Structure 1
Amino acid sequence: MLTHHYPSASTKWFLEGKAIDLHDARGNLISSHPILCPEYIGPRMGVPTISRWQGEVLDNIIVNTSSVALYPTLRALRHCIDNRTVICLIHEGLGVAEKLNEDVFDDPAFRPTYVLGHLTHKLSRHMGKAMALRNKSSNGVLLLSTSPRAAEEGIDEREDTTGHRSLELAQRRHIMGLLSTSEALHPVGLSWTKFLHRKLPGMIWSAAADTTSVILGCRYDQILEDSHARKLWNGLLDETLHIAASLPEFQAQNQSQDVRPGQGQGHEEKWLAPFLHRRDQFRASLGRRLRRRRTTYSEWISAIRRGDVTPVNFVNGYFVKRAQELGLDHKINSMAISMVKARHQARLRELRSDIPFGYRPYMSDGDRLGGREFEGDDYGGDGGDGGGEDWDFDLDL
C-alpha cells in the first residue's frame, strides 16, 4: 500500500497505468509492478486535523520520505500503529526514531518497533512521471540495522519487558525476511556499529557541505573557492569528525579488540571506521567530491526555496546531541543549525509576502547561484549523499 497527501496522486496513478515502472540508467524498462491505488491519508475536507483514511493495525511500514512529510504521514496513521507495528525508517539522518517517540508515540507501552535503513541505490524520476523511477546505479544496496538507542527508550516502563523484547526481535526478523525477498533492493543486515560505518560518512558530508551551501547561498564548487566559505567548511568538518571519532560505539569496538601490551593507541585506532582512521585521506576525498559536483548546488537550497524544512535536525542535530551526551564542543554545528533555520524562516516570510502575478515562477527566489540542483538523490535515503555514494574513498570494513 502506498500513501499520499494530495488527491492528484490518485489521478497520476490512473493515467500512468496503475503501476510503478523501474528503468535502468539508460531509460530502458526493467520491470513494471501493478499497485493498488495509493491511499489518501491527508486531512478530511474542512477538518484539517483528522485523517480520512481508516484501517486496521498496520504490521509493517516503510517510510522513505523527506523530513517535511515524515511527521504528517505517521501522525495520520497514528491510530493504525501500536506495539505490533514495525516501522522501517529510511532517512537522511539519525535520531528520527527517538524524536518520533517523543512527539508522536509518547506512550511507551504502545510504541512501534524500529528498523533503520540506509539506501545506496541512486534513484530519480523517469521522464517526469510520478510512478516511474530510474535506477542509475547497478550496485546499490539497502543496509538495515536496529538502533540500540531507540530500542532502550521506555523499555523499563513496559510491564512485560522480556515478552516485549522477544516480540521486537521476532518483528524485526519478520520485516527483514520480507525485504530480503526483493532482489532489486539487495538488502543487507548489519550490526549497529557497522551500520554507523556506512551511514556516518554521508551525514558528515551533509553536515559540512549542505549546511555551508545553505548558510552562504553558494554552489558546491564555490565552497573551496571562497576563503570565508572554506573556513566555515573546515570548522564544521573538524568538529564533526571529532564528535564521530569519540562516539562510544567506536570506543567499545576498540576495547573489544585484542591489543597486545606496547602497541598503544595507534594500534587501537586502526579498528575505527576507515573514514575516521584515515582522517586526512577522508577530508581530501570530501574536497574532491565537492569539485566533482562542479556547478551543482545542494538540494537543501531547493528545499529552502520551496519553504520546506531541511533535515538539519537529524544531520547536524544528531552530532550536537551526541556531543552534548559526551561533553564535547559543538558550538559550530549548533550555530550552523540556527543559521539554516533562520534562512528557512526568512524564506517563509518572503513567500507569505509574495503576490505572484505570473511574471516569474512562484516560489523562485532572487538567488543567482547559476548551475543546477544536484539530482543524485531524488529518492535516495542518504541525505546529500547522492544515493549511489560517489566516494573515491574505501568505506568498506
Structure 2
Amino acid sequence: MSTWSQDAEEISREAKAPKLSGRVHIIGLGNAGTFIAHSLAARQSPPPITLLMHQASFYQTFRRKKRSLAVNYNGLDDNRTGFDVEILEDKVWRRIPSGEEQHDAQEEEEIYESDQDFHEEEGHIECLIVCCKAYMTEKVIRDVRHRLSPNSTILLVQNGLGIVEKLNRDLFPDEHSRPHYMQGVLSHGLKKQDSYKIGHVSVGSLILSPVVTSHTPLIEAERDTHWAPTTKYLLRLLTLTPSLVATADTPAGLLQYQLERLTVSSVLGSLGAIHDCKNRDLLHNYAVSRTMRLLLLEISSVIYALPELRGIPGIEDRFSPERLRRLVINVAANRPEDASSLRNDLRYQQNTEIDFLNGWIVRRGEELGMKCVLNYMIVQLVLSRMQMISQREASAVPIDFENVILTGDNTKDD
C-alpha cells in the first residue's frame, strides 16, 4: 500500500500541478469528526492532520486529554496523538504544532495567555473535512473562506440536504472561484463517552462521492472523471483508511443514500423531538403509525419528482412509501434506546437541523409545484417547541441555594 506522500506526489504529477502538501484540516470534533480524525491518525502512514477549533476552551479541554483522540473498541481505548491544532482568536487562526513542549495542567492557563506557543496561520487549505451540524456549516466555513481556493476540496459529512446550495448562494456565488465539494454518508454506530472520546458501537461504512455542478445530470456524471487533484487525493486517502470502511460511489448513488438517511431523520428524528421520546416509544402506537404513513407518502412523492433522479432505474421501488416505512421501522426497532439529535438539541436549547430535513422536503416540493403541508407542519411544530423551551427557561427565576435566608428561630431557650 502506498503512503499518503506517494499518493500526493503521484496525483500532482498526473495533473501536472505543484505537489500537494497532503495536509487535511478537520472542523467539528463530534462523533463523526473524532472518528474520522482518529482513523486517519491510525493509518500506517498517517497524513498531517490539523484540527480547527473555534474556541480556546475547546483546546484547553483537548490539552487536558493529552492532545489525544480516543475510540473505544469492545471496551478497549485506542488513543491517537500527533494532531496539529489551530485556534480562531480575534478572527485570526493561530497554530499550535503537535510537537509543542508538554506542560503541567496547572500551567495551562498561563501558557495560553502568554501566547508563547501560538503562531499565526493563514496558509492555504487543500482538503477540509466538515463534520459539524448542518446549520453551523456556513458559519464555520466563512471563517476559513479566505484560505480556500478553486483548487481546494471540502468534504461535508452531515445529516440533511441543501447545504451545498446554501454555501454556493451565500459564500461562493462565483462558480469559477468556489472550491470543489465532496459529500459523505457515515453509518458507523458511534456514541460519545467523554470529551474527545467516543465508543464504536457498530461497524458501518463511509460512502463518498464528489459533488457535480447543477448543470450536469447525475446519470451522466459517472463518466466525469475530471476531478481536482485535491479531490482525488482526499478520496484515495479516505478509501485506503481501513477503519473507515470507505467506498467511492457515483453522485446519483450517494444522493440515494442521503435521501434514505433524510427520510429516517425526517420521521424518527422529528417525531422524537416533538414527543420528547426515544425510538422505542414511536413503535406500536397507532396514532404515530398513521402520522408516519402520511409523512412518508409526501416524502416519497417529492423524491419521485426530483429531476436529479430522472432516468435512474429502481427509484420507484427503492423510494416507495411502503419500502420507506419498513426502513424507518427497522431503524427504530434496531436502535430502540436512541434519541434523535433533534430531541437532544431541543433539550439543550440549541438550534436544530430541521430546515435541512423536513424543511428541505418542503422547499423542493414547492420548486416542483407540490404543497408539502404535513412536512411544513412538522417544521413549525419543532420550531414552536424550541421557542416554548426558550421562553420557559427565560421566565424561570434563578435561586441561589447557597445564600438562602432561612426563617424561624432555631436557637434553644435557656
Query: Is the TM-score greater than 0.5?
Result: yes
Distance 1:230 1:209 in 2: 11
Cross-structure match for 2:315: 272
1:323 to 345, 348, 365: 365
The verdict on how the C-alpha distance between 1:356 and 1:66 changes in structure 2, with shifts beyond 3 A counting, is: farther
Aligned residue number for residue 32 of structure 1 = 80
Highest CA radius of gyration, 1 or 2?
2
Partners of 1:183 and 1:349 in 2: CA distance: 47
1:115 corresponds to 2:115: no
Query: Residues 293 and 325 of structure 2 are in contact (CA less than 8 Å); yes or no, is this contact kept in structure 1?
Result: no
1:276 partner letter: F
Contact 1:197-1:273 within 8 A present in 2 as well? no
Aligned residues with identical type, % of pairs:
22
Aligned to 2:198: 133
Map 1:268-307; keep pairs closer than 5 Å.
271-272=314-315, 275-276=318-319, 279-294=321-336, 296-307=338-349
Alignment match, 1:214: 273
User: 1:119 deviation in Å?
Assistant: 0.8
Q: 1:300 is aligned with what amino acid? A: L
Q: Secondary structure of 1:110's partner? A: coil
Q: Is the 8 A contact 1:98 1:150 kept in 2?
A: no
SS in 1 for 2:310: helix
For residues 332-343 of structure 1, what are the structure 2 equivalents within 5 Å?
332-343=374-385
For this pair of structures, how many residues does the alignment match? 320
The 8 Å contact of residues 216 and 229 in structure 1, kept in 2 or not, is answered as no
**Secondary structure of the equivalent of 1:284?**
helix
> In 2, are the aligned partners of 1:114 and 1:150 still within 8 Å (CA)?
no
8 A Cα contact 1:201 1:275, kept in partner: no
Greater alpha carbon shift after TM alignment, 75-84 vs 290-299 = 290-299
The TM-score, its normalising length taken from structure 1, stands at: 0.72
The worse-fitting range, judged by mean Cα deviation, of 57-66 and 101-110 is: 101-110
The TM-score, its normalising length taken from structure 2, stands at 0.69
Partner SS, residue 149 of structure 2: coil
Structure 2 stretches lacking a partner, 5+ long: 1-49, 95-120, 217-223, 402-414
Question: Counterpart of 1:214 in 2: which secondary structure?
Answer: helix
- Summarize the alignment of residues 1-397 of structure 1 with structure 2, pairs less than 5 Å apart: 1-24=50-73, 26-30=74-78, 32-36=80-84, 38-41=85-88, 44=90, 50-53=91-94, 54-126=121-193, 128=194, 130-138=195-203, 140-149=204-213, 168-254=227-313, 271-272=314-315, 275-276=318-319, 279-294=321-336, 296-357=338-399
1:107/1:149 CA distance change after superposition, 3 Å = closer
- The CA deviation string for residues 86-145 of structure 1, in whole angstroms up to 9 with x for no partner, is 10000101111111111222343421111011111222234x2x232322223x221111
Q: Residue deviations 1:261-299, cap 9 Å, x none? A: xxxxxxxxxx2275325x524423423433444465322
Higher RCO structure, 1 or 2 (CA under 8 Å, sep 6+): 1
**Which range moves more in the overlay, 211-220 or 194-203?**
211-220
Quick one: which amino acid aligns to residue 301 of structure 1?
R
Kindly provide the CA deviation profile for residues 59-91 of structure 1, in whole angstroms up to 9, marking residues without a partner as x: 110001113532331121122123222100001
Q: Which runs of 5+ in 1 are unaligned?
A: 45-49, 153-164, 255-270, 360-397
